[in-house]
């Protein structure tokens, strides 16, 4: 009976786990809708902003290039790694850490520092790499101004020459079940060059002028790119956690079913043994 009691305890424990994973799945599903709407609305704006910058730049004086587009000899690199503050999201966080380690190996000849957005990234790299800054608190009050403040600090460091290149590493949201690990260059920004056979219209009126427009648009585009990466990561996190909790619930249900069958068989065997003992005892008394 002790064995049956142990099995009953395991069944009860698994049932409690299923309730937790099912609740976490429902919470992530509810948060995913809001996060998905946010990133879907931001993407067209971000893409159009990049397009405007490239169009304005195509007719600008090449000698007056923005400081954020200036390429220089690469000596120091900053990686901005975006993860979550919590786990239980499958491979969501570990995939970012893996990509970050791959980047470290590929760029081992440079001085590398990491700016972490998310406690999981900070915990993974703080013992082995120089952490430039830990900005995990942005998730406590996630909005454009909070992320823009982080981006402004990175832009200032780039202007001052502390870093020659800056890269973003994050999970790009595709759908609830799919997230793509993305590594993209944030600084210096990529300015599309005018092809020789491209005819550029010259009847545009720029107010106040092209360079001032770029000086205002480029910082905004950089901040928007960082904000988009964070929103992509948030939506990906909820999708990954919802999928992980769905699988965990299914696995717990399958394990519970197996234990129930095993319990019933063991219970039936115990009852059969008791009946056999009773019958044997009765026969012994009868024969005596």
Task: Tell me the pairing of strands 76-82 and 111-117.
Answer: parallel
Domain 22-192+204-243 class, CATH top level: alpha beta
List, for the chain, all residue ranges whose pLDDT scores fall below the cut of 50: 1, 194-202
Question: Which residues 6+ apart lie within 8 Å of 75 measured at CB?
Answer: 110, 111, 164
CB count within 10 Å of CB 83 equals 29
260-266: long-range contacts, CB 8 A cutoff, minimum separation 24 = 260/11, 262/7, 263/4, 263/7, 263/8, 263/11, 266/3, 266/4, 266/7
The pLDDT of residue 271 is 83
Q: Is the pTM of this model over 0.95?
A: no
Are 121 and 104 a contacting pair, CB within 8 Å? Answer: no
The pLDDT of residue 192 is 57
pLDDT in tens, 32-75: 989 999 999 998 998 888 887 776 665 555 556 778 888 888 89
The pLDDT of residue 198 is 45
Instruction: Provide φ and ψ at 184, rounded to 5°.
Output: -135, 150
pLDDT in tens, 160-189: 989 999 999 999 998 888 899 999 998 888
SS3 at position 82: strand
The pLDDT of residue 288 is 67
Are 79 and 167 a contacting pair, CB within 8 Å? Answer: yes
- Going by C-alpha positions, the residue among 163, 192, 165, 184 that lies closest to residue 65 is 192
CB-count burial class (<10 Å; 0-12, 13-18, 19+) for 160: exposed
Q: What is the mean pLDDT of the chain?
A: 85
Are 228 and 80 a contacting pair, CB within 8 Å? Answer: no
Instruction: Provide φ and ψ at 53, rounded to 5°.
Output: -60, -45
Q: Where are the domains of the chain?
A: 22-192+204-243
Task: Tell me the pairing of strands 165-175 and 178-187.
Answer: antiparallel
Task: Tell me the pairing of strands 165-175 and 76-82.
Answer: parallel
SS3 at position 83: coil
């Amino acid at each position: 009976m002790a064995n049956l009691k142990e099995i009953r305890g395991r069944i009860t424990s698994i049932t409690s786990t299923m309730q937790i994973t099912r609740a976490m799945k429902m919470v992530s599903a509810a948060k995913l809708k809001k996060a998905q709407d946010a990133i879907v609305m931001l993407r067209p704006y971000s893409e159009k902003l990049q397009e405007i910058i490239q169009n304005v730049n195509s007719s600008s004086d090449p000698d007056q290039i923005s400081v954020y587009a200036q390429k220089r000899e690469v000596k120091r690199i900053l990686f901005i790694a975006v993860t979550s503050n919590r786990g239980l999201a499958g491979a969501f966080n570990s995939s970012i850490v893996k990509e970050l380690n791959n980047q470290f190996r590929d760029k081992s000849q440079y001085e590398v520092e990491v700016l972490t957005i998310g406690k999981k990234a900070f915990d993974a790299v703080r013992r082995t790499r120089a952490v430039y800054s830990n900005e995990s608190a942005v998730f406590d009050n996630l909005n454009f101004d909070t992320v823009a403040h982080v981006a402004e600090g990175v832009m200032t460091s780039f202007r001052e020459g502390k870093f020659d290149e800056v890269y973003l590493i994050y999970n790009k949201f595709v759908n609830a079940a799919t997230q793509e690990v993305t590594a993209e260059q944030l600084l210096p920004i990529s300015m599309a060059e005018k092809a020789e056979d491209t005819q550029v219209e010259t009847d545009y009126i720029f107010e106040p002028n092209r360079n001032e427009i770029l000086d205002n648009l480029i910082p905004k585009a950089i901040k928007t790119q960082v904000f988009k990466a964070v929103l992509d990561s948030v939506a990906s996190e909820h999708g990954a956690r919802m999928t992980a909790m769905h699988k965990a619930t299914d696995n717990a249900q399958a394990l519970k079913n197996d234990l129930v069958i095993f319990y019933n068989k063991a219970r039936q065997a115990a009852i059969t043994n008791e009946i056999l003992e009773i019958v044997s005892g009765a026969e012994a008394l009868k024969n005596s």
